[in-house]
Amino acid sequence: MDNNTHVVIMAGGIGSRLWPASTPETPKQFIDVLGVGKSLIQLTVDRFRPLCRMSNFWVVTSDRYVGMVKDQLPEIPDDNILAEPEPRNTAPCIAYSCWKIASKHPDANIVVTPADAIVLNKDEFAKIISSALAFSAAGPAIVTVGIVPSRPETGYGYICAEKTCYGEITKVIEFKEKPDLETAKKYVSAGNYFWNAGIFVWSADTIISQFRRFAPGIAGIMDRLAPSLHTENEAQALKELFPLCEKISIDYAIMEKSPDIYVVAADLGWSDLGSWGSVKSHIEADNDGNAVVGSDIRLFHCKNSIVHLPSVKMAVIEGLEGYIVAEKNGALIVCRLSDEQHIKEYSADK
C-alpha cells in the first residue's frame, strides 16, 4: 500500500432512475440497493481498501449528505468529507478535491471514482488500478478505466483506444457519447471500444496542470480558494467561490481536450447501477428470472421481474412478467422494465 495513494469518491448524485428506492433525501449511493447488507458507497470503499489507507479516502458530496457519509463511513476523517454548496457537475467537484489534497500532499497519486457503481471482479480491479497508479506516478499521464463491453449498450459513453489490449495501458484516441444501437454494435464488433466507467487516475501535479491548460477558469477559482483550504475559513470561501465555477463535466473540461489520456481495460463485472434493469442483472434470480430483495416476497406465475421491497413485511404478487415492483417510505412503483427510462418523469413532482 503506497502512502501517496489517495481515493476521491464522488457521491453527490440523486439517482432518480431508481425511484422510489433512491430519492433526493437518500440517494442510491447511501442505500443497500442489492440487499447485501452494505450501501454502494460502503462497497466502493471496500473495493479500494487494499490500495489506500483510510486517512487517504476523500468523499465529495452535497452538504445535505455529509451526515450520511459520516454515519456510513466513520473511519474517514471529517476534514476529508468535502461538501459542495451546490452541484456544478464533475469538473469543479474534482478540481476542489484535487486542490485540497495537493495543498497537504503535493506528491499525491489520486484515483477518482463514482460512489454508486459495483465491481464483481475485485482482484482484477485492484490489479489494473495498481498498474494505472504506477503509470500516472511515472509521468504526466491520465489513465481512465475502460470496461470490456458485454453487450451493445446504449446507456454508456465509450472510450476508443488505439488498440485492443486488455489489461495493458494504451493511448486513447477519443471519447464517444452514448451511441444508438447500431453504432453500439459496431463499437462492440471493433474490439477497441470500451465502456467509460468514469474512474480516473492521475498525480496531483498532472491534474492541476491539465486544469490550468484546458479549464483555466476553474483553475483560477481554485487558486483563489487555496489559501482557505484546511482552515476555519474554508466553508465560507467555498460557498462564495464554488458557484462561480462553470457547470461542466470532467469529460468535456479535460478528457476530450487533453493529448495525455490513456486507458486500461478489463472485464470487471462492472455496472453503474443506473437503472432497475441493471440492478436486476446483479441480483441472483430464481428459476423464472425474478430478482427479489425483501424478507417475505411470494411470487406466483411471475417471470423476469425485479421486486425490491426490503421494508415490506410481506408481499404477494401474481402474474407479472418483465416488471419492476419497488417501494420505499410509502411510495410504490409498478412499471414495465421496458419502460424504465420513463421513471424519472413518472416520479417527478407534479
CA–CA dist 135, 69 (Å, integer) = 31
**% of the chain at pLDDT higher than 90:** 81
CB atoms inside a 10 Å sphere around CB 97: 23
CB atoms inside a 10 Å sphere around CB 330: 7
Predicted confidence at residue 350, as pLDDT, reads: 54
Domain ranges for the chain, please list them.
5-271, 276-346
Phi-psi bin for 269: left (phi > 0), alpha (psi -120 to 50), beta?
left
Residue 216: DSSP 8-state? H
Domain 5-271 class?
alpha beta
Distances (CA, A) of 290 to 4, 130, 230, 332, 338: 45, 37, 49, 18, 15
**% of the chain at pLDDT higher than 70:** 99
Predicted confidence at residue 243, as pLDDT, reads: 96
Predicted confidence at residue 305, as pLDDT, reads: 97
Q: What is the pLDDT of residues 221-245, one digit of tens each?
A: 999 999 999 999 999 999 999 999 9
Confidence of residue 220 (pLDDT cuts 50, 70, 90): very high
Answer with the residue of higher pLDDT: 86 or 348.
86
Predicted confidence at residue 17, as pLDDT, reads: 87
Global pTM value = 0.92
Q: Where are the alpha helices (DSSP H) in the chain?
A: 40-48, 66-72, 90-104, 122-138, 181-190, 204-214, 216-225, 234-241, 250, 276-280, 343-346
Please, what is the average pLDDT of the chain?
93
3-state SS, 165-193, equals CECCEEEEEEEECCCCHHHHHHHHHHCCE
Predicted confidence at residue 326, as pLDDT, reads: 96
- Please give the average per-residue pLDDT across 304-328, as a whole number: 96
Residue 67 has pLDDT above 70, yes or no: yes
Q: What is the pLDDT of residues 106-161, one digit of tens each?
A: 999 999 999 988 998 999 999 999 999 999 999 899 999 999 998 898 888 999 99
Name beta bridge partners: 261: 142
Residue 331 has pLDDT above 90, yes or no: yes
